[in-house]
């Protein structure tokens, strides 16, 4: 649970902001579908994905002040 006055990072926010081609393709698929899962596997090769996974595995929480 985030601290009062802060909000937690929403998954794939960075990917959407940088217009990642894989994310753009994911946005055309139905979440949870076999096609979605197939495209999502590409994310495991991404440095941003690996870094976020590393953070969460070690208990880090990414927060920002609410606007």
Q: At CB < 8 A and 24+ separation, what contacts does 51-55 make?
A: 52/9
pLDDT attached to residue 3: 86
Predicted TM-score (pTM) of the model is: 0.77
- The pLDDT value given to residue 16: 95
Q: Is the pLDDT of residue 29 over 70?
A: yes
pLDDT tens column, 32-51: 999 999 999 999 999 999 99
Distance CA 67, CA 64 (A): 9
Are 15 and 1 in contact by the 8 Å Cβ rule? The answer is: no
CA separation (Å) from 29 to 7, 23, 37? 27, 10, 9
């Amino acid at each position: 649970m985030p601290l009062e006055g802060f909000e937690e990072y929403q998954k794939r926010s960075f990917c959407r902001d940088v217009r990642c081609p894989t994310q753009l393709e994911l946005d055309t698929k139905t979440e949870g579908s076999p096609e979605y899962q197939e495209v999502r596997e590409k994310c495991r090769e991404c440095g941003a994905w690996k870094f976020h996974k590393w953070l969460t595995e070690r208990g880090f929480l990414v927060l920002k002040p609410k606007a």
